Amino acid sequence: MPEIDYSKHKILLAVISVIETLTAGVAAVGALLALGGLGLELNYRRKGNVNQLELTAGEWHLAINEPNRYLLIGEMEFRNLTQRFEVMLPQVRAEVKLLSDGSLDGITCQTKVIPCHKDATARPDDYWFGYIVKAQKTTKIKVSIDIQGQDLTQLQSAWVQVHYTTYGPSGRIAKIRHVVVPLQFPSPDTVPTARNVGVAEVLPIRTHILTEIDDPIAIVKRYVLPRAQKGDIVALAETPLALMQGRYRHPSEVKPGWAAKRVCLFFLPTSSLATACGMQTLVDVVGPWRVVAAFAIGAVAKVFGKPGVFYQLAGEQARLIDDVTGTLPPFDQFIVLGPENPQQVVEQIQRETGLAAAIVDANDLKAVKILAATSDLSITFLEQALRSNPAGNADERTPVVVIRPLPQK
């Protein structure tokens, strides 16, 4: 029997042991790298866009209000909402689109953006000198809009678009802050035409174009109180309230995801959820899983003859979102959500004006939905009074309706 060379086996076993050790080490390193990568990804997803530099709507006023010249001044504020990141502002500029009931021929409009941070000086060439906004800090700008022409009385509003670029941990991101500023204001002394609808007289109240810089309580005090009588009810349309709350988004700011691009294809073309951006706006409010689940369950329910389940499951905003073209210019270019906390708004109106109030969604198809109402009002009565949609669906600019109950026979 041949002799076994145990020394060779020992060498082989040693090599195998080394290989196993190296393999285990590589596996351990791979596991650590995988865990590290997962941690980085989770941290990125948790923090998302850290270029969180927001621009407020600001405060606006007409510094010069003459027949041939308006000087519109807005004071706006950049706010860095991050906890520890600096965000740079390499570019800021403004442009304006005037909205008018007449021609804009012969009317000129010059805009300037003036930095208001410490030690800043406005350059004569209107060049924006890059600026760093520290974490949780702010800086202000002044936007000057000089409008000149032979007759400016037909101008209704200025659609101001402040373009700015953020530069920071999330890269270089272009943003736009939209602000619509009214230029003409109907007299609150104008007597509206009352219409008898059987249970009440309704008075559509004409206002200026309501925007984010307006306050619903101030609007009621300005346009309703001068002509109000005891027992009157204020009905405010839901879309103008949402606009005053800043609940609108330009489609360029909406990034449709997987769910929105697919679910929107199953809605009628007339629906505000029939576009990817309209649906994504809902997804951003309630989340993709709720939208997909509502769609799946709603599709099954429709097969069994029960429509409308999607809207019940997807939440109130599913019915209230207005897609592009859904309201008056310039907001016909935006997606408008439903209002926030409407019950709180009507209670505040009653508390500060003494008038009962309701937030309503009415249309020319005689459909009336009461989103909120003060406790002393009958929903049935409100629906009867507003069924004819006295506020209108066109360019009436009457977002407020006064309901004056008639004595019951």
**How far is C-alpha 201 from the geometric centre of its chain's CA atoms?**
34
CB neighbour list of residue 339: distance below 8 Å, 6 or more residues apart? 238, 241, 242, 245, 247, 320, 345, 359, 371
Distance CA 28, CA 185 (A): 72
3-state helix, strand, coil in the chain (%, to 5): 30, 30, 40
What pLDDT, on a 0 to 100 scale, did the predictor assign at position 366? 76
In the predicted model, is pLDDT for residue 80 greater than 90? yes
Say which residue, 34 or 402, is predicted with more confidence: 402
For residue 124, say if its preceding peptide bond is cis, omega within 30 degrees of 0. Answer: no
Domain range 53-182, CATH class: mainly beta
pLDDT at 44 over 50: no
Please report, for the chain, the start and end positions of each structural domain, with discontinuous segments joined by +: 53-182, 195-246+338-405, 248-336
In percent, how much of the chain has pLDDT > 90? 70
Q: Is the pLDDT of residue 46 over 90?
A: no
Nearest Cα to Cα of residue 357 among 368, 346, 348: 346
Binning pLDDT at 50, 70 and 90, where does residue 326 land?
confident
Q: What is the pLDDT of residue 8?
A: 56
Contact 394, 326 (CB under 8 A): no
Minimum mean pLDDT range among 96-100, 116-120, 137-141, 358-362: 116-120
192, pLDDT greater than 90: no
Tokens 């202000």 — which residue? 140
pLDDT at 1 over 80: no
Summarize the confidence of residues 65-76 as an average pLDDT. 95
* Banded model confidence at residue 25, pLDDT cuts 50, 70, 90: low
DSSP for 237-281, written as a single string: EHHHHHHHTT-EE-GGG----HHHHHHGGGS-TTSTTSSHHHHHH
pLDDT in tens, 102-139: 999 999 999 999 999 887 777 888 899 999 999 999 99
Q: Which of 290, 300, 299 is nearest to 259 (CA)?
A: 290
Q: Looking at residue 364, what DSSP letter applies?
A: T
* Range from 1-10, 43-52, 85-94, 273-282 carrying the lowest mean pLDDT: 1-10
Pairing of strands 155-168, 195-196: unpaired
90 in Cβ contact with 133 (< 8 Å) = no
Q: Rounded CA gap, 323 and 404, in Å? A: 33
pLDDT, residue 399, reads 92
Give how far the C-alpha of residue 373 lies from the chain's centroid of Cα atoms, to the nearest Å: 23
Which residue has 């409407």 as its token pair? 342
For the chain, percent of residues with pLDDT exceeding 70: 88
Contact indicator for 161, 177 with CB cutoff of 8 Å: yes
Fold agreement between 53-182 and 195-246+338-405? no
Helix (H, G, I), strand (E, B) or coil at 188: coil
What are the structure tokens assigned to 285, written together?
A: 């409010």
What was the pLDDT predicted at 41? 46
pLDDT of 50 strictly over 90: no
Other beta carbons within 10 Å of 262: 14
Instruction: Give first-to-last CA distance, the chain, whole Å.
Output: 126
CATH number for the domain running over 195-246+338-405: 3.30.1330.100
The per-residue pLDDT for 147 is 97
Q: Any idea which of 158-167, 236-245, 364-373 has the lowest mean pLDDT? A: 364-373
Q: So what's the pLDDT on residue 314?
A: 94
Closest CA to 278 of 328, 319, 330, 339: 319
pLDDT digits 0-9 by tens, 229-252: 999 999 999 999 999 999 999 999
Please tell me which of 36-40, 141-145, 167-171 the model is most confident about, judged by mean pLDDT: 141-145
Least confidently predicted of 28-32, 59-63, 258-262: 28-32
**What are 253-268's pLDDT values in tens digits?**
999 999 999 999 999 9
The mean of the pLDDT values for the chain is: 88
Question: What number is the average pLDDT over the span 283-287?
Answer: 95
Give which of 154, 183, 22 is closest to 96, Cα–Cα. Answer: 183
